[in-house]
Structure 1
Amino acid sequence: MARRYDPDRRQRIIDAAIRIVELKGIDVLSHRTVAAEADVPLGSTTYHFASLDDLLVAALEQVSCAPQTAVHIWSEALEDETPLTDGITSVLEEYASGRRGSIRLEYELYLAALRRPPLQPLAAQWLDDMVAVLARHTRDLPTARALAALIDGLLLQFLLTDRDFDREEVRSALARVTGEQ
């Protein structure tokens, strides 16, 4: 049997892995589930990605480098002249209103780095990039780091609870860190 030319297969495998992680979580990810989701032979997944870590690195690179990643969204949202706390609150509110799946995907991949050393450099770079975006709008680097930690905590709490987004509560918490009133 002749091999079928399929130049997009590697990308379909990455996209399938991202969909699985977003919808079902990282624990469900396997070469078999990815092959089924991508509609490719099982051997194709192991041909392109010898290990699941290799596949997760490719998925995290795609998620963190795409134009609509968290870092790009934050960077664009904070460029206007509104107070920093208002800008951050608006982005968090946008996330809460319809980006639950993408938030889960980003944190699934980000937190996977705790147990998967190949993902650690990418996750660390993602965090550093986020802090760099925030640092352009804060008085110093420690404040930017504190804001990044607060944002992570707020987003994780949002994922874990069914509470409605409380704009004033979020803005107030952010203002404590930034010193804005």
Structure 2
Amino acid sequence: MSTANPAPRRRDPEGRRRAMLIAAGEIITEAGTAALTHRAVAARAEVSLGSTTKYFSSIDDLREAALQYLAQEIDQELATIDFAGIATNPEHAAAELHRFLCDRHAVHATIALLASGATDPQLRSLARRWDDRFIELLTPHIGHAQATAIAVYFNGATLHAGLDEEPLSRDALTAVIRALVAMPGPVTTTQETNP
């Protein structure tokens, strides 16, 4: 039997914090933000409870950091979608969006972000980041009004995918994208015409 002391574990504060954010993100996407606790994150990340409270002093801090982490994941996923030919080849865009809708983690992360932004004004800009980036990517190819309409539709398709076992089909997505791309230019709202 060896009497040598084991080598001390290297300290990796950033790695530990990341493990906690991954764990928090998993909890949110599996069970919602209401299930998020310091204790649940500590157990999932296999760290001490004291570590979670050291890095995230309140549950609000932990929730916001986890949602920020999920938003960054979604940003990376969105950056892989090619919208360049959406006006002439909506089938390709529909296939890309269908792939996203088949990713349960991405769908539930998006829903968590949207729900948090809808109920917590402090998280609204984080939740809107998805829509803003989506519209920004689409606008050069089809125009702002059409891009906004597709983003709103896709939010609904994402919620549908979260509630149902299967997302909308590629054919259904293609038909709606084709119709929205072809819709007339910007619609003037009542507020814009009557200040």
What is the TM-score with the length of structure 2 in the denominator?
A: 0.77
Superposition CA RMSD, Å = 2.5
> Quick check: 1:118 aligned with 2:122?
yes
Equivalence for 1:175: 178
Distance 1:67 1:166 in 2: 21
- Residue 128 (str. 1) matches residue 132 (str. 2): yes
Q: 2:160 aligns with which of 157, 167, 179?
A: 157
Q: Write the letter of the residue equivalent to 1:111.
A: A
User: Matches of residues 28-177 of structure 1 in structure 2 within 5 Å?
Assistant: 28-66=35-73, 69-74=76-81, 77-79=82-84, 83-96=88-101, 98-138=102-142, 140-163=143-166, 165-177=168-180
Segments of structure 1 that go 5 or more residues without pairing to the other structure are: none
Is contact 1:20–1:26 with CA below 8 Å preserved after alignment? yes
Between the aligned partners of 1:125 and 1:105, the Cα distance in structure 2 is 13
Q: Any stretches of 5+ residues in structure 2 without a counterpart? A: 1-9, 184-195
- Percent identity (aligned): 28
Q: Tell me if structure 2 keeps the 8 A contact 1:63–1:69.
A: no
Q: Is the CA contact (8 Å cut-off) linking 2:160 and 2:167 kept in structure 1?
A: no
Question: How many residues in Structure 1 have an aligned counterpart in Structure 2?
Answer: 174
Change (3 A) 1:84 1:107: farther
TM-score of the superposition, structure 1-length normalised? 0.82
**Aligned letter for 1:62?**
Y
Corresponding residue number in structure 1 for 2:11: 5
Which of 23, 32, 40 is the matching residue for 2:30? 23
Letter in 2 for 1:177: L
Residue 133 of structure 1 and its aligned partner are, at CA, apart by 0.8
How far the C-alpha of 1:39 sits from its partner, in A, is: 1.2
Task: Describe the shift of the 1:88–1:81 C-alpha distance in structure 2 as closer, same or farther (beyond 3 A).
Answer: closer
Runs of 4+ in 1 over 4 A off after TM superposition: none
Contact map agreement 1:18 1:59 (CA 8 A) in 2: yes
C-alpha displacement at 1:167, in angstroms?
Answer: 2.4
Alpha-carbon spacing, 1:162–1:125, altered in 2? closer, same or farther (3 Å): closer
Distance 1:81 1:166 in 2: 17
Distance apart, 1:17 and its partner CA? 0.3
1:126-149: CA deviation from partner (whole Å, max 9, x where unpaired) = 3211110111221x2111111100
Structure 2: distance between partners of 1:147 and 1:67: 17
Return the structure number with greater relative CO, CA threshold 8 A, min gap 6: 1
1:151-175 Cα distance to aligned partner (Å, 9 max, x none): 1111211221235643222211111
